[in-house]
Amino acid sequence: MKQIKQIAGKALAGLFLIYVVVVCLGPLIWVFFQAFKTNKEILISAFALPKAFRLDGFRVALETAPILLYFRNSVVISVVNTGITVVAVSMAAYMTARFQFRGKRFFTLMLSSSLLIPVSSLLMPIYLLLTKMGMIDTMRGLILIYAALGLPTSLFILQSTFQGIPRELEEAAYIDGAGVFYTFFTIILPIAKPGVATAATLHFITSWNEFMFALVMTKSASVRTLPLALNYFTSQFSFNYTAMFAAIVLSILPSILVFICLQEQITASMVSGSLKG
Amino acid sequence: MRIKKHILFVFLLPCLLLFALIYLLPIGVVAVTSFTSWKIGTDIRFCGVDNYLQAVKDPNVGVALLHTLFWVVLQATVHVALGVTLALILSRRRRGWRAIRTISMIPNIIPASALAIIFLRVFDANGLINSLLQAVTGKPVQIQWYFQVKTAMIPVTLSWLIYSGLITILVLAAIMGVSSELSDSAKIDGARGLQIDFLVILPIIRNTIGTAVIIAATSMLKEFELIFLTTNGGPGNKTLNMPLYLYKTSLIENNYGYGNAMGVMLIVLGVGIVFAVNKLFRMDESVY
Amino acid sequence: MKKRRLAVIAAALGTVMLAGCGQGSGSGGSAQATTQAAESAAASSAEEPAAKAEAKEGAGEVIQIDYPTFMCGTASVAGWFQERCQAFNEQYAGKYEIVVEEIPNTQDYVDKMKVLYSSDSLPDVVNTGGYNIIDMMQDKLVDLTPYVDEEWRSTMSDIGIAVNSRDGKLYGIPSTRQLVGYFYNKDLFAQAGIEAPAKTWDEFFEQCEALKQAGIVPMSMDTADSGWCTSLFLGAMTASNEAGEEFMNTLQPRDYNVPEFIDAVAKVQRLFQEYTTPDSIGGDYAAAANNFQNEITAMIANGPWMVQNFYDTTKCEEGFYEKVGTAMYPEGTMYNAAQTGWHVAAKTPEKIEAAIEMIKFMTSEESQKLYLEVTGNICDRNLTSDKVYPLVNEVIENAAVSTYNINDYQSLWYANVVDEVSVQYPLLAQGEMTPEEFAAALTAAAEKNEK
């Protein structure tokens, strides 16, 4: 009886995994194949394989939109702002996770509220602000906005990470006379590496794909980001789906690479047994 | 634990600065202007709670709120459950678990515009779903899933409900953080796989699950692109939600005052959700 | 002591933060330093063009004209603008320079202009490609009347001036005209035994039936993005008498409860239910165009800019253009209207002067002729050229003899009404709503625009 149950459980789990793989990998494979089809093939037989592997889509994509330049900008902006968010938020999250202080609940609620503000209401005030600060059409401007956009989600993730770390570790450090800074940066953060990497990954992906602020706050090609390039291929009365999907492929690949790398970091830190409960 | 004021201040400062710069001002503008009559090309003029009264009477607000809440609840339950289930399975670290973890995240990496195109094709009259149904039933099926009154909610909801990769990696990281010694000792006590999952691991990572619920639920207070790019809220208003209605009000009707009143309603709703989840999962308390 | 600790901490933090892909950045030591370096590099590279421009300005007093454009990417006018912009910058080198911001999508373009308007920072020159911003942004647009002399004025069409004027003031220089009939597939018509496009709507529906009987889907239709191809027919059906023509020339109508309109909605409902492809409900322009270009459907309503696609072999079979015929709508109706053109929102006299020069250049006879030849769009000036696509010339000839001349709904109606159309079409198509209810829904949307 127990064996049957176990086998059934394993089969169910297996089925579930297959479902996940199909549903999640399907879209990626589909996008990938579209990049090699002609417009006609894409529109007439959406799920057929390409008749031939033409690279025209990639050529046209690179010619039509300044993809490489936007790509560079995206890398700089995403990396820098992710760094800022993660440092700023992990410091604050450590405080809220570990210590009691007046206004703590207010602080977290206030930051969470930023999770809820609709982007369309933010556009104009932020535009005015950046203008005043001379940051319109600069990478600094976008970096600042994106860093702030990451506050709430990263705060939640890091706060629960810190709460999950046993207190004994740092208490020992404090008894030895170590300061808060030292303890935080040398003891707590390394242990919280998986959470930090998770927050960083998610925030990286969010800022990599952000569109509306990038559109409104920038105007020069030298500061614009990759999501803006995808619109080059569909205007109201003309379209080039082949090139658009080629551009999408070019923009997805780096995200996936970053994701894999950061996830490997998490895994490595777990496996090496750096975590002692 | 208590902490010295100046150290606390230094640790909170970067966050506070970012918040003050990018959010405080807009929140102020949104809140204040929600009590004004403000349309593009006209002067701003104070009008008390008129916008809120209008919202109460506006049938679209009612419908949009209802849909938004429906999706919040689904996302907080089914979506999170899917993600946690996958995380628990992957935490056994059977062969290929890393690959599947990465794969589960892919839909979150693909730009929404691409995902929307894919879903439109899959649920098209000649799309994948109808072909499958045709093969099973043997009869020609031509349901326009996205655009029929009775079916429109299904593909729209599925386009985010089934993609819980984000929840999975959050929860998986937390599970891996739970020391293996803990579950080892549980094993010695005679607990088996599922029992360990439900009785030992899940309670310990309840903070993370609470976080996951908050992130999933509140994402529905912002979900906009996947509706905008597929049904645009239609047919009629059958898939309209608050963020989309807000977008239409501010950027298509250019009625900023009214749009911002909806913004305030969304923020209040969201704070309520965060508060409730916090209480429910007792997230203020440390685990150890 | 404390300082050293901080340094250690920073380094440790760095490795956690950006250890990223192992070997790559891990070897660099403090990632915070990397971060800062990257940021300053980013900042300096961002400021580079500005700095260059300043240097130039100092030397030769070049006046820069800020102009965000939708004429880029796959837009039919992209090539034309690129060439003209270069030509202008060369001709006026050392004096004026157009600084282009590319915004490939007209919807995004208008969204951004609204934000810029509300924060009082519109660029020097604006051209929305026909989307009416005059009534919305009048107070920030320059009245061009004093800058346009008789000679220049005489090159513009009367309707072009009318569309760009409010209370006798000229807020835009007309540059394009909207001439739209419909295209049909001669081969498919022949297969169904149809000799010529219909003269009345009754005949039109007979032809649809004949095509259907011959196993051909008559119409390419769409509902997404305001259902362009569908709504063109809707407007043309409305304008089958004088009252309807007047309605289809009314700017921002408030009341759609008009017999001609309701009658037209009923006709469109019939088209949806009997004479189009199943993918038309929810479908976008691309799908509709594709159905026509691959000979799945026999008719599509669209403007002459589509003609260049008939030559594109990634979109249709070689030689497809030979099968295409042009027609005006039954009862002799055509979209024949002027569009809003080039606006100036510059603030200083020098900038305004520069902007005027640029617009003069863009609407010169040479530029307009090229526009007609290269893009297949119809220019405001009354020009002919033998280098134009033959099908485009046919459209122009049709327009010259049309009985009812109307403007298109995207230029006329409130933006939120246009948006409402696309969410109500599916209900109409499925019989979930009557034509009267459809009209009532549009009226309700229009009423939201009360100031």
Q: Rounded to an integer, what is the distance from CA C292 to the centroid of its chain?
A: 21
Q: What is the pLDDT of residue B55?
A: 95
**Do B286 and A17 count as a contact with CB atoms less than 8 A apart?**
no
Instruction: Look up residue C356 and give its two tokens.
Output: 């005027």
The span from the CA of B112 to the CA of B114, in Å, is 5
Place of tokens 């492809």: C277
Strand A238-239 versus strand A234-235 pairing type: antiparallel
pLDDT in tens, C203-240: 999 999 999 999 999 999 999 988 999 999 999 999 99
Instruction: Give chain A positions within 8 Å (CB) of C101.
Output: 219-220
Q: Is B126 within 8 Å of chain C by CB?
A: yes
Q: Is B276 within 8 Å of chain A by CB?
A: no
In a domain, B12, yes or no: no
| Sign of the dihedral defined by the CA atoms of residues C221, C225, C228, C231, in that order | positive
Evaluate whether C142 touches C134 at the Cβ level (below 8 Å): no
Task: Count contacts between A and C (CB, < 8 Å).
Answer: 174
Evaluate whether A140 touches C46 at the Cβ level (below 8 Å): yes
Chains that touch A (3 or more CB pairs under 8 A): B, C
Instruction: Give chain A positions within 8 Å (CB) of B214.
Output: 112, 115, 156
Q: Is B124 within 8 Å of chain A by CB?
A: yes
Q: Among all residues of chain C, which has the CA nearest to that of B149? A: C427
pLDDT in tens, C403-451: 999 998 988 999 999 999 999 999 999 999 999 999 999 999 999 987 6
- Give, in degrees to the nearest 5, the angle at Cα A89 between A86 and A91: 105
Residue numbers of C between 213 and 242 with CB closer than 8 Å to A: 225, 228
To 10 degrees, the CA torsion angle through C115, C120, C123, C125? Answer: 100
- Candidates A119, B223, B57; CA nearest to C448 is B57
Return the number of other C-beta atoms located less than 10 Å from residue A156's C-beta. Answer: 28
Mean pLDDT of chain B: 88
Return the number of other C-beta atoms located less than 10 Å from residue A22's C-beta. Answer: 11
In a domain, B19, yes or no: no
CATH number at residue B165: 1.10.3720.10
Nearest CB to C423; choose among B125, B142, B232: B232
Q: Rounded to an integer, what is the distance from CA B202 to the centroid of its chain?
A: 21
End-to-end C-alpha distance for chain C, whole angstroms: 66
To 10 degrees, the CA torsion angle through C299, C305, C311, C313? Answer: -80
List of domains in chain C: 52-176+339-379 (3.40.190.10), 178-337+390-447 (3.40.190.10)
**Do A88 and B14 count as a contact with CB atoms less than 8 A apart?**
yes
**Do B234 and C114 count as a contact with CB atoms less than 8 A apart?**
no
Instruction: Look up residue C38 and give its two tokens.
Output: 């990257």
| Total count of domains within chain B | 1
Burial class (CB in 10 A: 0-12, 13-18, 19+), B222: middle
Instruction: Give chain C positions within 8 Å (CB) of B252.
Output: 415-416, 419
Nearest CB to C17; choose among A87, A222, A257: A87
Instruction: Give chain B positions within 8 Å (CB) of A10.
Output: none
Evaluate whether B15 touches A149 at the Cβ level (below 8 Å): no
Q: What is the pLDDT of residue C320?
A: 96
Q: What percent of chain C has pLDDT over 70?
A: 86
Q: Is the pLDDT of residue C11 over 90?
A: no
- Candidates C427, C409, C417; CA nearest to C281 is C427
Q: Is the pLDDT of residue A110 over 90?
A: no
ipTM, interface predicted TM-score of the complex:
0.88
Q: Is B18 within 8 Å of chain A by CB?
A: yes
- Candidates C418, C422, C445, C408; CA nearest to C129 is C408
Q: Rounded to an integer, what is the distance from CA C221 to the centroid of its chain?
A: 18
- Candidates C175, C177, C228; CA nearest to C365 is C175
Residues with Cβ within 8 Å of residue A247, at least 6 apart in sequence: A61, A65, A67, A229, A230, A232, A233
pLDDT tier at A194, thresholds 50, 70, 90 = confident
For A46-55, letters b (16+ CB in 10 Å) and e give: beeebeeeee
Best of A41, A43, A160 to mutate (most B CBs within 10 Å, chain B): A160
Residue B170's domain spans which residues?
Answer: 36-280
Looking at the complex, report in whole angstroms how far the Cα of residue B152 sits from the nearest Cα belonging to chain A: 20
**Do A92 and B222 count as a contact with CB atoms less than 8 A apart?**
no
Fold of A55-271: MetI-like fold (1.10.3720)
pLDDT tier at C48, thresholds 50, 70, 90 = very low
Return the number of other C-beta atoms located less than 10 Å from residue C425's C-beta. Answer: 31
Mean pLDDT of chain C: 87
pLDDT in tens, C327-359: 999 999 999 999 999 999 999 999 999 999 999
> Which position has the higher pLDDT, B40 or B180?
B40
Best of B253, B256, B258 to mutate (most C CBs within 10 Å, chain C): B253
Burial class (CB in 10 A: 0-12, 13-18, 19+), A4: exposed
Statement: the pTM of the whole predicted model exceeds 0.90: no
Least confident of A109-123, B13-27, B267-281: A109-123
The span from the CA of C282 to the CA of C299, in Å, is 18
**Do B251 and C139 count as a contact with CB atoms less than 8 A apart?**
no
Q: Is the pLDDT of residue B114 over 90?
A: no
Q: Is C411 within 8 Å of chain A by CB?
A: no
Instruction: Look up residue C58 and give its two tokens.
Output: 């100092």
Best of A235, A245, A253, A256 to mutate (most C CBs within 10 Å, chain C): A235
Q: Is the pLDDT of residue B103 over 60?
A: yes
Instruction: Return the domain boundaries, chain A.
Output: 55-271
- Candidates C178, C133, C228; CA nearest to C418 is C228
Q: Is B120 within 8 Å of chain C by CB?
A: yes
Residue numbers of C between 117 and 176 with CB closer than 8 Å to A: 118-119, 121
> Which position has the higher pLDDT, C43 or B187?
B187
Looking at the complex, report in whole angstroms how far the Cα of residue B189 sits from the nearest Cα belonging to chain A: 18
Q: Rounded to an integer, what is the distance from CA C24 to the centroid of its chain?
A: 46
Looking at the complex, report in whole angstroms how far the Cα of residue C128 sits from the nearest Cα belonging to chain A: 12
The span from the CA of A115 to the CA of A112, in Å, is 5
